[in-house]
Amino acid sequence: HAADIKVVVSADQPGPVIHRNIYGQFAEHLGTGIYEGMWVGPESKIPNVRGWRKDVVAALKDLKVPLVRWPGGCFADEYHWRDGIGPRNKRPVKVNTHWGGVPENNAVGTHEFFDLVEQLGAEAYVNANMGTGTPQEAAEWLEYMTGEGNATIVEQRRKNGRDKPFRVHYYALGNETWGCGGNMRPEYYADLYRHWATFLKTPAHNRPKFIASGGNDKDTTWTDVLSKQVKHNIDAIAHHAYTFPSGKWEGKGSAAGFPESEWVSMLSQVKKIDDVLAASKVILDKNDPQKKIALYFDEWGSWYDPEPGSNPGFLVQRNTLRDALLAALHFNVFHSHAERVQMSNVAQMVNVLQAMILTSKDKLVLTPTYHAFKLYIPFQDATSLPIKVENNPTYKVDKFEMPTVSVTAGRGKDGKVWVGLVNSNATKPAELDLQLGANAPKAVKGQVLTASAMDAQNELGKAPQVVPTAFEAQATNGKLTLKLPAKSIVVVAVEG
């Protein structure tokens, strides 16, 4: 009998705070992510509050969404904010060239977006257009949203129905400027950022955090160049990394109906997130020793080949138990880099890529990923706690391998010690002994998320297959053993 896995949590050595924004969301004008999925318009028969679906907003409120990034993504670099203000029936219709070439009628604009985040009780992350915009347009958008005096642009906001300023918490210049945002070199973007950021002005009490668009995947060049060359009006660098089962952009792989090797190839890639964050930390500690610049991971998640029969530009994919584990593994990694990683935004909130919610007409389902986010709510603003994992076996299928168990711990805002565990092994349960310092706690209580199939889903009109259930364990003879089912996520509060 192999030695049990041992997990030791040091509850007396508090680390950095796990910022609630690690549980942030991203909503782009893409497919049915906003239109249909969330926005149905005030005239719709689908129950809504000023155009936003009641059922979707309620489900997202339950998730305690801390912030939403909008309007893109690649879309942001073709978005001109003036198209999205004033009477909706007078707004221009454009073509969404990035995503399916469909008409964009600009029904959701600045005022509608802020209505959504205010309904959610979330903060607003607005991504300005650098690709096809101007520094004037970016500066004026900020003035329109935050201005207080009697400048004409502020009066225009009032005329459009909003007297008091919007609270803009985060404002980014450009998106993926190495690619869809303009195919720039990092040095060129660094100069543009310095130039544009000079003109971003707001009342002091409504100053957003300013975000520079950073690198992708394993590439840390952007983090290096930006943290070295930009010193003014920069609060964070935004990094992106998606995960494909094949590891390749072309021929990504399927969302469902995959062999166990693809289960592991997918989940094992979370190591690349850990690696890029570790490498970024070294760079930032050198270029920004005062720790003024945070790292935001503002796009991440699974990306599969498009669902057969769907518009490939709509990035529709199914969501399975594998996605839930992928999310939890990301959370554990983000927690371990909490000092610099102060925001992450899963792509995307509704109907697009690794979504929380899938809708069809007036119906919705909560995806396995939704439940992973929900299980981890106690970690929002928790204080991270060091953990040690011993005897963690390697889980290997074909050429893919990873540690079997992934663990995170934190002291929640409720004062309790919370532990989040993932057993990535698709076929075997994992047994582990849990200790708080030198002793076994009395008991643990929480929830487990698992299912019988690796690609179990929650589908419209069918009984959901992936829903959390209660999980408990008590100590016996001074030992607390947790039995994690195969392919499961367990989040528990520790007693005693």
Residues marked as catalytic: 176, 299
CB 484 within 8 A of CB 432: yes
Minimum Å distance from CB 124 to ligand AHR? 18
CB atoms within 10 A of CB 10: 15
Which residues in the 155-214 window bind ligand AHR by CB under 6 A?
175-176
Retrieve residue 19's tokens.
Answer: 């910022």
Minimum Å distance from CB 353 to ligand AHR? 6
Q: Give how many residues touch ligand AHR by CB under 6 A.
A: 10
Retrieve residue 263's tokens.
Answer: 């289960």
If you write DSSP's letter for every residue of 259-288 in order, what string do you get?
-HHHHHHHHHTHHHHHHHHHHHHHHHHHH-
Residue nearer to ligand AHR on the CB measure, 26 or 418: 26
Minimum Å distance from CB 213 to ligand AHR? 9
The residue with its CB nearest to ligand AHR is 73
Give the Cα separation of 184 and 188 in Å (integer): 6
**Residue 74 lies near ligand AHR (rule: CB under 6 A):** yes
Part in contact with ligand AHR (CB under 6 A); list of ranges 254-262, 347-355, 356-364, 416-424: 347-355
CB 63 within 8 A of CB 468: no
Per-residue mark of binding to ligand AHR, 282-321 (x: CB under 6 A): -----------------x----------------------
96 CA to centre of own chain? 23
Question: What residue type is 322 in one-letter code?
Answer: R
**Residue 347 lies near ligand AHR (rule: CB under 6 A):** yes
CB 146 within 8 A of CB 175: no
Residue nearer to ligand AHR on the CB measure, 333 or 347: 347
* Among positions 31, 66, 72, 378, the unique one binding ligand AHR when judged by CB under 6 A: 72
Name the 3-class secondary structure at 141.
Answer: helix
Part in contact with ligand AHR (CB under 6 A); list of ranges 72-80, 106-114, 274-282, 443-451: 72-80
Residue nearer to ligand AHR on the CB measure, 68 or 397: 68
Retrieve residue 390's tokens.
Answer: 């011993």
Which residues in the 25-54 window bind ligand AHR by CB under 6 A?
28
The sign of the dihedral angle between the CA atoms of 261, 262, 266, 272 is positive
Specify the residue for token string 């975000």: 211
Which residues in the 467-496 window bind ligand AHR by CB under 6 A?
none
Question: What residue type is 337 in one-letter code?
Answer: H
Residues that bind ligand AHR (CB under 6 A): 28, 72-74, 175-176, 299, 347-348, 353
